[in-house]
Structure 1
Amino acid sequence: MRIGADYYPEHWEKERWKTDAEMMVKANIKVIRIGEFAWSLYEPEEGKYEFDWMDEALDFFGKYGIKVVMCTPSATPPKWMIDKYPDILQNDIHGNPKLFGTRKHYCFNSETYREKTKKLNTLIAKRYAKHPAIEAWQVDNELGWSNTTRCYCKSCKNRFRNWLKEKYG
């Protein structure tokens, strides 16, 4: 049986990676899942992309024979994006926007969110498509986590109403 673990290299000093990798090898951990909450590192400000930190992590863990499930960071749009595009936020049943600072706080129907996610994920996929450490991709995590499957914003209401009109006339 193969054993894997979540790992967040961005949360640790690089000096710690060696200790962690050695402990993983000793524990027979063969795969790690990384990158899922790292949008703000990939794109610290709009249109400014940074990949060196992930390049380094993939190369480092690959040298230890640890394979990677590469995650897209779509679950955590960064603060700058919420500040600039507040329409991205999901609304609860009372019409109140979810707060920044948790995961999955975005509206699935937000065109801005979809555009930004597609752009970043395309860059990540192109950059790492052939990286030898990567053995799989994860496109999202914990679907429906913390009551995030429904949004009650105007965009969602309008889309639902339009769907009803098309379906039922």
Structure 2
Amino acid sequence: MGHHTFDASRADKLEQPAERYRFLSAEELLWALDLSPTDTVVDLGSGTGFYTDDVAPHAGDVYAVDVQSAMHDYYREKGVPENVELVTTEVSDLPLESETVDAAFSTMTYHEFASDDAVAEIHRVLDDGGRFVVVDWAATGTGDDGPPVDERYTADEAVEALRDGGFTVEHRAVRPETFLLVATVA
């Protein structure tokens, strides 16, 4: 699918903790990532760095990947942690060496980049045993929050795409509006 990206002119909306944590808490994300202090992590579709900021204190190097340079501009104005590097690129073309990443995550952005090429690229950069955490808007949701329902995937569709891309899905949780997947590279 790979639909439109979030409108960068509305970036302030991405910085509302009460709204964002309603769908994914920092604690749940950190649990799913299961990081060590030296881990290299990639935030795919990092936007304003809202969740990147939650992860950075618990990791070594962090790459905040977003296709929109305007999102990185917003993050720079807000203040980027020292261990975070901003990378402007498509998820299907990550400028990272193969097998150098311990964990990658996507919070409410999988529907924007989901493709065989993107999944293959994430798999390529993750080391053996690396984790890929996906939290996204579910196609089974109401559409009251997030993108239109027809731009979303079901958890089953995302699981199938990850399995087809060489991942083992270790955890799957489906909620009314979102789903959470934890997958690993075999």
Check whether TM > 0.5: no
Bigger-Rg structure (1/2): 1
Higher helix share: 1
Q: TM-score, normalised by structure 2?
A: 0.28
Give the alignment's TM-score, normalised by structure 1. Answer: 0.30
Indicate the structure with greater strand content: 2
